[in-house]
Amino acid sequence: MFRHPRRHSPRLSLRLSLPIALAAPLLLAGCFEEQRDTNSSEVGTRINVAMLQPPRSGLTPLSDDAFKLSRWSNAETLIRLDANSDPQPFLATEWEQLDSKTWRFVIRDGVVFHDGTALTAGDVVNSLKAATQATPKPRILDGVNMTIEADGDNAVIVRTEKDDPLIPNRLSSPQLAILAAKAYGDDGRVNPIEAGTGPFVLTEINGTTSAKLDRFDDYWGEPAAVAGIDADYVPDGTARAASLRTGVADVVEAIPVSQVALLDPERVHEVPMPRTNTLYLNTQTGPLADPALRAAIREAIDRPSIVNTVYEGRADIAEGLLGPALAWANGIRQPIENRAAPAEPNGAEITLATFTDRAELPEVAVLLEQQLTRAGFNVSQEVREYAHIEADALAGEFDAFILSRATVLDSGDPVAYMFSDFACAGSFNIAQLCDSAVDEALATASELPTGDARRQAIIDVEAAILRTDAAIPMLHERVIQGESARVANAERDPRERTLITEKTTLDIDSES
């Protein structure tokens, strides 16, 4: 167990000493340059990308590694989502709902896999069946029993055990990408090399070090503007920032806030994420079972101070659970009425908990302790690694818990997150909330198809949750992406599904 001392400074981040910080880019530059020297004669038109995390499962699309294949425009899905998370055609050109449990998707003509075989309805059935039979299942299929069958050569029928208006959204998940038959082995493993349909073909997987992709000249859409992608996995944030600063990487994922001041501001791009830093309050046991004390915490939190001190201004102050990454939310959100009035804490003792895996959260806890102490609470802290604190948080062992939480998950829709965290039957209900108004609002939203009516219903759910003060949203995080001067049209995607596309270009005469 790790406890922060009460007198600790609110700014806890450690910085590398100057000699070490200067040495890191030199070491990294050598690594990147060695790779570039071995590239083809088209080295000038290949794009180098520094990725945040190495693959966990050999780049199988049935795991979280699928998002790398998607960000490299390698593997494609039947559906893709627009900025409002509404489904749009991709490998499926049209679809219709035949009844409440049955959907028909028409497959795009003229699509060729990277191994030269043509996309057919049978390939779609094969890929989706592999996902439904995988152990573990892709997250997007949690709680979903789905069967797929071909309907002729150019369409598939998808059936679900229960009514599910989000089937098109689910089929947009990178974990349900469509690959060539050769990708699927008898042992259940999936090898994505030369098996996708995107503008870039995956040609090399070098373990947890790097991957290589080349332009696919038989792509069904617009050909890629660059000759290929050289992706390196650089988990160390200082090294990723150094790779941009020294010009050895063209695009860099997730630059740490602490490194931004060392970079040319024109090379740094902030993208709002569908991720909210929220304080969950225990509504069932302890002093915060009193709505008036929860309201006192709501009123005590100084959000601008947290954003400016911990995140150095590189986050957005929360007005609700859903942030600017879901641009539609703020336009239809209304002030929340009938909230409990705050009471005087009078020294009420509460335990504030969080975890160390996200570096900012312990710092947020320090500031929150100070703010709540000034408001009249007596606060103690509990900070551990996430793996060692999750079970206690879910069991309601803490009065307050700070969590950085993705709000749209894989379907691009917030209802699943809201149900998981705030329904009586929710599996991730840290707040121990069981409120009939919240459950009724969730039931209404879950039955609606994507579109304006569902979005309004989602905002109604948000209001019902916030009215209980079971969750106090504090800020919405941003991802900081680096791009060299020679890059144009790299995607800045809040959902982190796309990064390099067929439209991404390099100007080899520009200086990095």
- The encoded tokens of residue 317 equal 């102050």
CA 109 to the chain's CA centroid:
31
Residues 90 and 501: their CA atoms lie apart, in Å, by 14
The residues, any chain, with a CB within 8 Å of residue 266's CB and separated by 6 or more, are 485
- Choose the weakest-confidence range: 78-87, 133-142, 349-358, 495-504: 133-142
Q: Once rounded to an integer, what is the mean pLDDT over residues 203-212?
A: 94
pLDDT in the model for residue 139: 76
The DSSP element (H or E) to which 89 belongs, if any, is strand 87-89
pLDDT, one tens digit per residue, over 467-483 is 999 999 999 999 899 99
- The encoded tokens of residue 284 equal 């069932």
pLDDT in the model for residue 327: 85
pLDDT at position 27 over 60: no
Looking at residue 70, its amino acid is S
pLDDT in the model for residue 409: 66
- The encoded tokens of residue 382 equal 């509990």
**Cα atoms found within 13 Å of the Cα of residue 363, Cβ hemisphere only:** 18
Residues 108 and 97: their CA atoms lie apart, in Å, by 18
- C-beta separation of 492 from 481 below 8 A: yes
The DSSP element (H or E) to which 159 belongs, if any, is strand 155-160
Residues 458 and 452: their CA atoms lie apart, in Å, by 10
Q: What is the pTM of this model?
A: 0.78
pLDDT in the model for residue 44: 54
Widest pairwise Cα distance in the chain: 72
Closest CA to 263 of 482, 26, 33: 482
pLDDT in the model for residue 400: 98
Looking at residue 192, its amino acid is P
CA torsion, ordered 234, 237, 240, 242, to nearest 10 deg: -140
pLDDT at position 216 over 60: yes
Give the 3-state secondary structure of residue 305.
helix
Q: Which residue has the tokens 């996309």?
A: 119
- Choose the weakest-confidence range: 135-139, 372-376, 492-496: 135-139
DSSP state of 338: S
Looking at residue 49, its amino acid is V
The residues, any chain, with a CB within 8 Å of residue 440's CB and separated by 6 or more, are none
Higher pLDDT, 24 or 156: 156
pLDDT grade, residue 462 (50/70/90)? very high
pLDDT in the model for residue 331: 87
- C-beta separation of 471 from 431 below 8 A: yes
What is the C-alpha radius of gyration for the chain, rounded to an integer number of angstroms? 24
pLDDT at position 265 over 70: yes
Give the 3-state secondary structure of residue 118.
strand
pLDDT in the model for residue 148: 97
Closest CA to 66 of 159, 131, 152, 142: 131
Q: Once rounded to an integer, what is the mean pLDDT over residues 210-235?
A: 96
The residues, any chain, with a CB within 8 Å of residue 179's CB and separated by 6 or more, are 61, 75, 113, 123, 127, 190, 192, 195, 196
pLDDT at position 142 over 80: no
pLDDT in the model for residue 469: 98
pLDDT, one tens digit per residue, over 364-423 is 999 999 999 999 999 999 999 988 999 999 999 999 999 999 898 677 789 988 998 999
pLDDT in the model for residue 511: 53
CA 317 to the chain's CA centroid:
19
Q: Where are the beta strands (DSSP E) in 282-410?
A: 315-317, 349-355, 378-384, 400-406
Q: What are phi and psi of 487, to 5 degrees?
A: -95, 140
pLDDT in the model for residue 416: 84
pLDDT at position 26 over 50: no
pLDDT at position 273 over 70: yes
User: How many C-beta neighbours within 10 Å does residue 247 have?
Assistant: 16
Q: Once rounded to an integer, what is the mean pLDDT over residues 343-372?
A: 94
pLDDT grade, residue 447 (50/70/90)? confident
pLDDT in the model for residue 352: 98
Higher pLDDT, 440 or 510: 440
User: How many C-beta neighbours within 10 Å does residue 308 have?
Assistant: 14
pLDDT in the model for residue 389: 94
pLDDT-above-90 percentage for the chain: 70
The helix-helix angle for 291-300 and 360-375 (nearest 10°) equals: 110
pLDDT in the model for residue 482: 96
- C-beta separation of 144 from 164 below 8 A: yes
pLDDT in the model for residue 357: 80
pLDDT grade, residue 52 (50/70/90)? confident
pLDDT in the model for residue 218: 97
pLDDT at position 100 over 60: yes
pLDDT in the model for residue 42: 54
pLDDT, one tens digit per residue, over 6-16 is 333 333 333 33
Q: Once rounded to an integer, what is the mean pLDDT over residues 206-215?
A: 95
User: In order of start, what are the domains of the chain with their CATH numbers?
Assistant: 20-74+198-250+484-506 (3.40.190.10), 79-183 (3.90.76.10), 272-478 (3.10.105.10)
Higher pLDDT, 244 or 56: 244
pLDDT at position 510 over 90: no
Give the 3-state secondary structure of residue 122.
helix
pLDDT at position 104 over 80: yes
Closest CA to 184 of 148, 237, 133: 133
- The encoded tokens of residue 130 equal 């592999």
Average pLDDT in the chain: 88
User: How many C-beta neighbours within 10 Å does residue 382 have?
Assistant: 20
pLDDT in the model for residue 437: 97
End-to-end Cα distance, the chain: 45
